[in-house]
Copies of this chain bind each other. A is one copy, B any other.
């Protein structure tokens, strides 16, 4: 139940983790809470408030929480203080907080104060929920998800570039759910020009709009007309940022127009994936959702910078080596050098199938084993 509560923070808590909490006293649930929004109250606070609002005295209660309570004062006070102050006598947690400022100290403070603490009861489930947060905390970098729609034989489009639609509407709706879990969505110029996508989160998954990011080697082909009419440049829909190679800035007229529309322009020393990711992390973007096209996919896979793949397979065969594919410039010649992923989930989305696969390479964020597990 605490995990279900945690997930209600969908799309609103970054850079914080999703956390849910339940207070139980004498076999009865007396309070429920979750972290609703970055900068606002933690789950534990909301659970205590909920209990008190219903007239319960939380002293002597057990707190079930999906993550170790924090023990430092940030934007809000330390949850360990809240627990002690309110006379909660037992704390049960799913996992330790990977945040180095906590990392077991929250549990220790509670134990030292005589509180019964049970922990690491659902580490795997906790890590799955917090994969972005764990990556941010332990590796100090932006978590990267790559989403692609493929034919069963792995093609992104036919040899003439036809790709609408390989998957059906249910798969496309499901992709909106995943968009909403991320701080930002990345596309390249090819996708902008071919599809004029809005990159907003719709179909019932509406949330704090992720930042839309366009990565450009140069501005060739981006016209004033486009800036006035394409959805990406309408910052009324969602924020739009353009990262570009500092050697090829936009001409001043274009630059003026872009700024007038409220678009943020950020120059990079180069447009390599690692350069972009460093700039994004510096800007506070904790997670990136890559939507294509083929060149962006190729660059991020080649750089081994994808943490998670969301591969939607449509019920088609396309064939032909000239058809667009996921990883054109792969150097792989022997199988043991082929990136090894872990397929963690498959689900049917209408006529299509989603496979979720996680990177098992050295940069992998999710297989963190907490100290006590």
- Decide yes or no: A328 and B319 within 8 Å by CB, A154-B152, A353-B355 being known contacts: yes
Nearest chain B CB to A301 CB, angstrom units: 6
CB neighbours (8 Å) of A157 from chain B are 335
- Decide yes or no: A323 and B330 within 8 Å by CB, A152-B309, A152-B357, A348-B346 being known contacts: yes
Asked whether A338 lies within 8 Å of B313 as measured between CB atoms, the reply is no
Asked whether A343 lies within 8 Å of B332 as measured between CB atoms, the reply is no
- Decide yes or no: A162 and B333 within 8 Å by CB, A154-B154, A348-B343 being known contacts: yes
CB neighbours (8 Å) of A153 from chain B are 150, 154, 325-327
* Residue among A332, A343, A348 with the highest chain B CB neighbour number at 10 A: A332
CB neighbours (8 Å) of A151 from chain B are 154, 338
CB neighbours (8 Å) of A150 from chain B are 153-154
SS class, residues of chain A in contact with chain B:
loop
Bin chain A's interface residue count. 35 or more
Q: Which of B158, B309, B325, B339 contacts A332 (CB 8 A)?
A: B158
- Decide yes or no: A320 and B311 within 8 Å by CB, A334-B160, A353-B343 being known contacts: no
Nearest chain B CB to A321 CB, angstrom units: 4
- Nearest residue in B to A341 (C-beta to C-beta)? B315
State the A residues within 8 Å of B (CB).
Answer: 150-155, 157-160, 162-166, 301, 309, 311, 313, 315-323, 325-335, 338-343, 346, 348, 351-353, 355, 357, 360
Asked whether A355 lies within 8 Å of B158 as measured between CB atoms, the reply is no
- For the complex, what is the distance from the CA of A57 to the CA of B351, rounded to whole Å? 49
Asked whether A355 lies within 8 Å of B317 as measured between CB atoms, the reply is no
- Decide yes or no: A317 and B339 within 8 Å by CB, A154-B151, A155-B154 being known contacts: yes
23 example contacts (A-B, Cβ-Cβ < 8 A) are as follows A152-B311, A152-B341, A152-B355, A153-B326, A153-B327, A154-B154, A154-B155, A157-B335, A158-B333, A301-B319, A313-B343, A315-B357, A316-B341, A317-B327, A317-B330, A317-B338, A318-B330, A318-B332, A319-B326, A319-B330, A320-B329, A343-B348, A353-B355
Q: Which of B152, B321, B334, B341 contacts A317 (CB 8 A)?
A: B341
